Amino acid sequence: MANTDQPFDQVLMYLRAAGHDTGQDTRERLQRFIREQREANPSLGTSLLMENVPKWFDLPTLNPAPQLPPIARNSIGYPDE
């Protein structure tokens, strides 16, 4: 059985993990969005809410992993036998 706060908690954790500020303003805005979406579609699931999070909140862009230098093969000094 899903807790009524479960969608709120899951989206808030997602925002926190994405680096978004999760202060009081964000929490109030999130509650308003969830309430509006539930009024429009009472059977709305958490997965659809999660899909719409980037539309509602400006999420920080993640920097891609730094490029590693190319592998350079070289001798480590062992004599050829």
* Eight-state DSSP code of residue 53: H
Show me where the domains of the chain are located: 6-16+26-56
User: Could you read off the pLDDT of 22-60 as tens digits, one per residue?
Assistant: 999 999 999 998 888 888 888 878 888 888 888 888 877
How many angstroms separate the CA atoms of 6 and 14, rounded?
Answer: 12
**Is the pTM above the cut of 0.85?**
no
